[in-house]
Structure 1
Amino acid sequence: MGCYNDKVVRDLPFLAKIGLVTLNNCRQACWRYGFKYFGVQNSNLCYCGDTYNKYGKVDDVRCQKRCLGNKAQICGDLWLNNIYETGIGGNDESDYTRETESEKSEEQTVPDEESTIIDGNTDNEPSIDKDTDSGADT
């Protein structure tokens, strides 16, 4: 899809709680909940949703930060999402590399006030929670 602007009212409104972000673990978390799109931002955030492009596309070279979980991958930039399809509705999972054990981590991201949180941990049954604690780490 490409590189897209983001703002406080998120373009992709669901924040996936995953360990160190890679394209594959973000895609898996969003796909698991049935979302059409996932976006990676600022090297360490994973967002999910069914629509995108509220704030416009920018030149792909503006999304330059490396993913914390896989330095060979690009994961957006500050207030910029690299957006991809999850595979719901036709895309093939083979477009993404398999995640290795070294890409997993217990580290969690701190959500913002405008995001609904989904648990993207693939080792447990996921849950969806509404973020109501003003950004405190849960």
Structure 2
Amino acid sequence: MGCYNDKVVRDLPFLAKIGLVTLNNCRQACWRYGFKYFGVQNSNLCYCGDTYNKYGKVDDVRCQKRCLGNKAQICGDLWLNNIYETGIGGNDESDYTRETENEKSEEQTVPDEESTIIDGNTDNEPSIDKDTDTGADT
């Protein structure tokens, strides 16, 4: 899809609680909850939603931070999401490679006041919580 602007009222409103962010584990978390799109931001954040592009597309070269969980992948930038389809309603799983166990790590997310948090850890039962932490900047 490309690189898109983000703001405090998030373009993709659900923050997935996953380990170190990679394209695969973000896609899997968002797909698991039935979302059409996922976005990775600032190397360590994973967002989900069914619509995107509230704030406009920017040149793809502006999204250049490496994913914390896989340095070979690009995971957006400060206030910029790399947005992709999860595969809901289609068959695009072949676009993603299977990741090894060493790409998974402890939970590392930065919640914000305008997102709902979903548990993207595939080892746990699903849960959705309203984010109430207002002390984080992204």
- TM-score for the superposition, normalised by structure 2: 0.95
Do the aligned residues in 2 keep the contact of 1:115 with 1:131 (CA within 8 Å)?
yes
Question: More displaced, 126-135 or 110-119?
Answer: 126-135
Report how far residue 107 of structure 1 moved. 2.9
Report how far residue 136 of structure 1 moved. 7.1
Report how far residue 3 of structure 1 moved. 0.2
Alignment correspondent of 2:96: 96
Task: For residues 60-85 of structure 1, give each alpha carbon's deviation from its aligned partner in whole angstroms, at most 9, with x where no partner exists.
Answer: 00000000000000000000000000
Report how far residue 108 of structure 1 moved. 2.2
The 1:77/1:131 distance shift into structure 2, 3 A limit, reads same
Identity of aligned residues (%): 99
Report how far residue 110 of structure 1 moved. 2.1
Paired residues in the alignment total 138
Do the aligned residues in 2 keep the contact of 1:31 with 1:86 (CA within 8 Å)?
yes
RMSD of the alignment, in Å?
2.0
Please list every run of 5 or more consecutive structure 2 residues that lacks an aligned counterpart in the other structure.
Answer: none
**CA distance in structure 2 between the aligned counterparts of 1:53 and 1:28, rounded to whole angstroms:** 21
Please list every run of 5 or more consecutive structure 1 residues that lacks an aligned counterpart in the other structure.
Answer: none
**CA distance in structure 2 between the aligned counterparts of 1:58 and 1:91, rounded to whole angstroms:** 27
Alignment correspondent of 1:33: 33
Do the aligned residues in 2 keep the contact of 1:29 with 1:122 (CA within 8 Å)?
yes
**CA distance in structure 1 between the aligned counterparts of 2:117 and 2:76, rounded to whole angstroms:** 19
**CA distance in structure 2 between the aligned counterparts of 1:6 and 1:105, rounded to whole angstroms:** 26
The 1:96/1:42 distance shift into structure 2, 3 A limit, reads same
Report how far residue 115 of structure 1 moved. 0.3
Alignment correspondent of 2:110: 110
SS in 2 for 1:26: helix
- TM-score for the superposition, normalised by structure 1: 0.95
